[in-house]
Amino acid sequence: MIFRMKYFQIFMLWLVAMAHTSCLKQKPETPNTNANGDPALAVNFTLAQLNSMLPQEGSCIAIDSDYTIAVTVRADDKTGNFNEQIIVEDSSAGIAFMLNESSLFTRYPIGRKLYIRLKGLFLGNYYGTAQLGATPIPDNAGGLKVSSLIPKLFNEHIVTANLVVPALAFKFSLADLRIPRPDLCNRLIMIDGIEFENPIFDNAYTEGNATTSVRMRDCAANTISLRSSNYASFASASLPFGRGSIQAIYSIYKGAGQLILRDTNDVQMNGARCDGSIASEPALISIDSLRKSYKGQDTVIGNYHITAVVTSSTIHKNFGEGNLVMQDNSGAGIVVYFGNSASALPDMGDSILLQLTGATLTSYNGTLELKNIKAAKATILASGKTVQAVPLTIATLNANFAKYESVLVRIYNAKITSVGNFGGNKTLSDATGNTILYTSTTATFASDPVPNITKTFQGIPTYFGTTQELKIRHPTWDIY
């Protein structure tokens, strides 16, 4: 019995040991670092030599030799403008290293020295930019690109030195970059004497819903694009108005050179622009004054802004994609066109501050509107606001249509004398006359049947050529 118990105890101790070992294996891996400084691994290759092996666009090659390079991190993912990658340089060249992990800056921050063992990795050419990574995968153009290295392989290929190497940006003029520079790809560069081409129109680094390229220029009209992700922490930050310098990573995409910003701290533009202008605060203008400034031809708006309430409904789509109508306390209204692709526009009842500087006042099919303006220039101040409709007869509306264009109006005791659904032109009548009630076929209520009894109608008058039309926002709100 004692003999059996002894073996039972040994067996239980073995199980406990195995369980403990198993638990230890579940601990997350730690970076391969050297807390005491530089491990000084033997280096036998450079990034220039690696880039000289770069295959054609959309292709990748395996690295099967025991090469080791020493590099410094020049860009990380801290602001989100570089996703699952770090940009590294040595004294000869730079490259993008694709790593399948977020918050890489906690392991490999800007300035950190790294040793990279290249054997087993792949070198890819992504539209002209060299990338280092893992097993090739398909790209969007039918070619191949490197995949991101998985974290459990980081320590196999990356050894981190506990050293921070100061960033030394190479200084160039835009004239130096008029043609693509493969030798500068993935390198930190500085350009002086540069400004954003149209900071008033572009307003922010990105559109807010898409990666965006913003043009930059010097005083000799040389240009380059600054490309930023809408996921970057600075995506909605305002572009600086002045002229100065920028540090950024240079890259090539489809044969064109471009810049990718690490952080807005790399942008220093406080001087006067090439035309001598300096930034100033926009002045408030009323919609009534704005309309009166139109003299029959396209007019570029000066340094102004408007505060108004949106009176149209974007969600019910009766005023066209990218359009909204707004009205302020001057009693006037106007259409604003943000473009067909604009999204997340303010909606009915939103009180907005709209930056107008650089926008164009124009007549579109007879209706006065603002164009060349981006959704990012509208700031919602409050929601749930109401605008009182102006009570009119149809005869008064017809006789003063230009006065009430884009103004919310109300007509009592009116009736749709046409039959069918809302879509298209319908005749709206009261005791004083007739007008056209128009509903776009893309409106959410276009297929709803029209009422055939006398009711009160609200809507917004607009021109279509010389035709005078009244548009409702939705039957539930505007017919009662």
Residue 53 CA to residue 121 CA, distance in Å, equals 13
CA dihedral 315, 316, 318, 322 (to 10 degrees): 10
Q: CA geometry: angle at 276 spanning 271 and 278, to 5°?
A: 55
3-state SS assignment for residue 330: coil
Q: CA geometry: angle at 79 spanning 73 and 81, to 5°?
A: 80
Buried residues in 335-350 as b, exposed as e (16+ CB within 10 A): bbbbeeebeebbebeb
* Residue with more model confidence, 46 or 11: 46
Reading the block at residue 291, the tokens are: 């309309």
Q: What is the largest CA-CA distance in the chain?
A: 114
Residue 217: which residues within 8 A CB-CB, separation 6 or more? Answer: 174, 194, 195, 197, 223, 224, 274
Residue 28 CA to residue 448 CA, distance in Å, equals 60
Query: At residue 13, does pLDDT exceed 60?
Result: no
Distance of CA 75 to the CA centre of its chain: 20
Query: At residue 431, does pLDDT exceed 50?
Result: yes
Q: Beta strand 256-260 with 223-228: parallel, antiparallel or unpaired?
A: parallel
Query: At residue 9, does pLDDT exceed 50?
Result: no
Residue 224 CA to residue 176 CA, distance in Å, equals 11
Distance of CA 102 to the CA centre of its chain: 20
- Residue 360 in contact with residue 301, Cβ under 8 Å? yes
- Residue 294 gets which letter from DSSP? -
Residue 71 CA to residue 281 CA, distance in Å, equals 45
Instruction: Please spell the DSSP secondary structure of 113-175, one letter per residue.
Output: EEEEE-TT-EEEEETTEEEEEEEEEE-TTSSEEEEPBPGGGHHHHEEEEEEEPPP-PEEE-GG
Tens digit of pLDDT for each residue in 52-71?
999 999 999 999 999 999 99
pLDDT at 208 (0 to 100):
66
Reading the block at residue 371, the tokens are: 């164009």
Average pLDDT over residues 26-39: 61
Tens digit of pLDDT for each residue in 260-299?
999 999 999 989 999 998 877 789 999 999 999 999 999 9
pLDDT at 29 (0 to 100):
52
pLDDT at 86 (0 to 100):
98
Q: Tell me which architecture the domain covering 390-478 has in CATH.
A: Beta Barrel (2.40)
Residue 109 CA to residue 281 CA, distance in Å, equals 38
Confidence bin at 357 (pLDDT 50/70/90): confident
* Residue with more model confidence, 20 or 100: 100
Residue 171 CA to residue 247 CA, distance in Å, equals 9
Q: Where are the domains of the chain?
A: 33-164, 170-271, 283-382, 390-478
Tens digit of pLDDT for each residue in 112-158?
999 999 999 999 999 999 999 999 999 988 899 999 999 999 999 99
Tens digit of pLDDT for each residue in 386-428?
999 999 999 999 999 999 999 999 999 999 999 999 999 999 9
Query: At residue 35, does pLDDT exceed 70?
Result: no
pLDDT at 4 (0 to 100):
37
Distance of CA 70 to the CA centre of its chain: 35
Residue 15: which residues within 8 A CB-CB, separation 6 or more? Answer: none
Q: Could you say which of 2.40.50.140, 2.30.33.40, 3.20.20.140, 2.60.120.10 is the CATH number of the domain covering 170-271?
A: 2.40.50.140
* Range of lowest pLDDT (174-178, 213-217, 371-375): 371-375
Reading the block at residue 415, the tokens are: 């009736």
Reading the block at residue 25, the tokens are: 């294996």
Residue 109 CA to residue 88 CA, distance in Å, equals 11
Confidence bin at 24 (pLDDT 50/70/90): very low
Tens digit of pLDDT for each residue in 374-386?
887 889 999 999 9
pLDDT at 339 (0 to 100):
87
Reading the block at residue 451, the tokens are: 């009422």
How far is residue 207 from each of residues 203, 231, 360, measured CA to CA in Å? 9, 11, 19
Q: Do the first three CATH levels of 33-164 and 390-478 match, i.e. the same topology?
A: yes
Residue 337 CA to residue 377 CA, distance in Å, equals 12
Please, where are the H alpha helices in 235-306?
Answer: 287-292
Average pLDDT over residues 312-324: 93
Nearest to 479 by CA among 445, 447, 460, 451: 451
Strand partners, 215: 225
Tens digit of pLDDT for each residue in 67-105?
999 999 999 999 999 999 999 999 999 999 999 999 999
Q: Tell me which architecture the domain covering 283-382 has in CATH.
A: Beta Barrel (2.40)
Residue 115 CA to residue 70 CA, distance in Å, equals 5
Tens digit of pLDDT for each residue in 183-228?
999 999 999 999 999 887 777 898 767 899 999 999 999 999 999 9
For residue 247, the tally of other CB atoms under 10 A from its CB is 21
Q: What percentage of the chain has pLDDT greater than the value 90?
A: 78
Q: Could you say which of 1.20.120, 2.40.50, 2.60.40, 1.10.720 is the CATH number of the domain covering 33-164?
A: 2.40.50
Global pTM value: 0.67
Reading the block at residue 443, the tokens are: 């409106």
